[in-house]
Amino acid sequence: MFESMAKKPASWLTGKGPESEIVLSSRIRFARNIAEFKFPPSADTDTREKVIEFVRSAFSSMGLLKHGHFYNSNEISPLDQSFLVERHLVSPEFMKNGTGGGLYIDDSECLSIMVNEEDHIRLQSISSGLSMNECWECAYKVDQELARKLEYAYDDQFGYLTSCPTNVGTGLRASILIHLPGLVLTREIDNVISRISKVGLVVRGFYGEGTDVLGNLFQISNQTTLGRSEEEIIDSLSKVTQQIIEYELNSQETLMKDASDQIEDKIWRSYGILKHARVLASGEVMNLLSALRLGICLKLFDKVSLNQISELLIVTQPAHLQKYYGREMTSAERDMVRASLVRESLHGKQ
């Protein structure tokens, strides 16, 4: 399953969209439940099956099944599930639930809907660059239609009711994936993170061995879901993101003033390693690709396109590699295969 998907990059990774040199993707997620059923964590098998049936028939009458596919979680192998997680189409939690879940993915991979994750319905829309409004329009339209087919659990005071109280109200989580090498290199990042957290947003970096953030990638999302309207939440995330982009560009300018030779060397050195290495760990690839992306941003480097960098970030992940080569591999094998895939991609481009 998903073989054809594995061969093409996701549409949210086209490297297009506003601010796509710095913002990789935007995402909107709604958490919804059907009023008459117990929430998934406490629902029995029968109830879970009924929920899937309800939702599936709603999708069908909305015409969604004509341009997308609905899967039952028991027909998705563990490798395929990891593959979908790497592609941002399902959450890691969805994998843990085992059977009794459903998943809808539309043909463009912009819209994905998990059934019986923590809530009956988790509807997400994802797109390339800083494009919150595009995500919102796509997700909102489907959400509105679903509401007419299924009675949502909704309360006049608390809004949309969710399994976890941290999602209640709008049930909305808006997030962006952003690349901040300048702020990391100038060590301004901690300042920025603490400023952001004061306006109701959460920033997460992913740390590997040591203290460096892998790939200089951060996820920023709204922390609270109750008490502010959907528009306010999205607006505030977009505005703060604009501001962070400005901080990042300032940091990059500072770097170029103080250490342009070193920066240029770092970029070309990274390109050299990616182009010739025989063994590449996944964290290493992320850091090297980060340097190339910075190079493009600074207009110091044009051997590789943004699109290609984003694509490599995704396809060099463990499950993608195994899907691509059609077999399971040990971590050592993957490091070699990863290096050869990156080499192919970079040499082909020249």
Partner 1 sequence: MLCQDCNKREATIHLTQIINNEKVVLNLCKICAEKRGFHSPFEQMPFPLAELVSGMVGSNILKKPDKTGKIDKKDLKCTNCGLTFSEFGRIGRFGCANCYNVFRVELNDLLRRIHGSAEHRGHVAETPTEELQPLREEKRLRDKLKKAIETEDFETAAELRDRIRELSLKSKEEGS
Among positions 278-297, residues that touch partner 1 (CB under 8 A) are 282
- 3-class SS at 122? strand
Compute the least distance from the CB of residue 164 to partner 1, in Å: 6
- Interface pattern 6-45 for partner 1 (x via CB under 8 A): ---------------------x-x---x-x-xxx-xx---
DSSP letters for 24-60: EEEEEEEEE-BTTS--GGG--HHHHHHHHHHHHHHHH
- Per-residue x/- mask for partner 1, residues 50 to 89, rule CB under 8 A? --------------------------------x--xx-x-
- Name the residue nearer to partner 1 (CB basis): 29 or 323: 29
Closer residue to partner 1, CB minimum distance, 172 or 304: 172
Give residue 113's Cα distance to chain centre.
14
Q: Which of 134, 230, 248, 284 binds partner 1 (CB under 8 A)?
A: 230
Are 143 and 123 spatial neighbours (Cβ–Cβ below 8 Å)?
yes
The sign of the CA dihedral 180, 183, 184, 189 is: negative
175 bridge partner residues: 27, 221
The stretch among 64-72, 206-214, 259-267, 299-307 that binds partner 1 (CB under 8 A) is: 206-214
Strand 213-222 vs strand 121-128: parallel, antiparallel, or unpaired? unpaired
Judged on CB neighbours under 10 Å (0-12, 13-18, 19+), 216 is: buried
150: helix, coil or strand? coil
Residues 6+ apart with CB under 8 A from 229: 170
Please work out the total of residues on this chain that contact partner 1, with binding judged by CB under 8 A: 77
Tokens of 23: 């913002």
Of 131-139, 265-273, 298-306, 310-318, which segment contacts partner 1 by CB under 8 A?
A: 310-318
Q: Which lies closer to partner 1 via its Cβ, residue 229 or residue 262? A: 229
CB of 347 to partner 1, least distance (A): 26
Please, what is the minimum distance in Å from the beta carbon of residue 86 to partner 1? 6
Tokens of 114: 């998990």
What is the C-alpha to C-alpha distance for residues 289 and 208, in angstroms, rounded to an integer?
15
DSSP-derived pairing of the beta strands 172-179 and 154-155 = unpaired
Stretch that binds partner 1, among 192-200, 271-279, 301-309, 337-345 (CB under 8 A): 192-200
Record the tokens describing residue 51, joined without a space: 């929920």
- Identify residues 254-283 at the interface with partner 1 (CB under 8 A): 282
User: Binding segment for partner 1 among 69-77, 223-231, 294-302, 342-350 (CB under 8 A)?
Assistant: 223-231
Q: Find the binding residues for partner 1 in span 110-169 (CB under 8 A).
A: 118, 144, 147-166, 168-169
